[in-house]
């Protein structure tokens, strides 16, 4: 049953026995009462447990190696990016502060944007071209409402 469900065979119980050790201990205590066919079946079972334990350990080692390699690649990429940033800062090739922000036109960065401002491009001119007529229309509406409110207060 254990072999059909791809269960872990490297886990150990509270006394430190893993599946292979427990099967070997059980076989050692029962060996005198078993027939030769039953002993062969138990030996095959223990051998299959050993093979699965080795495969499970190999998978765990491969997973750990892959994780370590991915972590090392990430660290190397971070080192490279930091060095590039430092060299650009030394040569004056990068804007600092808020970058290219025009006064109140279209681009109000969030906190998340400000944290990563080196990689955020400035607003496109087309945004300002669209926003300026819209702003003028909204200003006219606001002034009209303000004038109507003033007129209402004066007449009441």
Kindly report the pTM of this predicted structure.
0.46
Contacts 24+ apart (CB under 8 A), 20-25: 20/46, 20/49, 20/50, 20/53, 23/49
Q: Considering its fold, how many domains does the chain have in total? A: 2
**Domain hosting residue 28, numbered range:** 1-94
pLDDT at 101: 47
Instruction: Kindly state whether residues 7 and 83 are assigned to the same domain.
Output: yes
Instruction: Kindly state whether residues 70 and 36 are assigned to the same domain.
Output: yes
Look at residues 54, 73, 94 and tell me which one is the last residue of a structural domain: 94
- Residue 25's nearest CA partner among 1, 4, 49, 6 is 49
Residue 33 has pLDDT above 90, yes or no: no
Instruction: Kindly state whether residues 73 and 110 are assigned to the same domain.
Output: no
pLDDT at 51: 92
Read off φ and ψ for residue 127, nearest 5 degrees: -65, -45
Helix (H, G, I), strand (E, B) or coil at 82: helix
């Amino acid at each position: 049953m254990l072999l059909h469900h791809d269960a872990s065979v490297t886990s150990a119980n509270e006394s430190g026995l893993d599946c292979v050790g427990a099967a070997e201990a059980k076989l050692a205590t029962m060996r005198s009462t078993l027939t030769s066919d039953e002993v062969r079946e138990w030996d095959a079972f223990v051998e299959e447990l050993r093979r699965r334990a080795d495969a499970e350990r190999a998978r765990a080692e491969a997973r750990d190696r892959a994780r370590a390699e991915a972590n090392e690649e990430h660290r190397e990429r971070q080192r490279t990016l930091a060095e590039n940033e430092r060299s650009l800062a030394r040569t004056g090739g990068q804007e600092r502060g808020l970058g290219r922000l025009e006064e109140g036109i279209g681009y109000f960065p969030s906190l998340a944007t400000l944290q990563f401002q080196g990689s955020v491009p400035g607003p496109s001119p087309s945004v300002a071209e669209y926003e300026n007529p819209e702003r003028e229309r909204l200003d006219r509406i606001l002034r009209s409402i303000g004038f109507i409110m003033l007129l209402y207060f004066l007449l009441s």
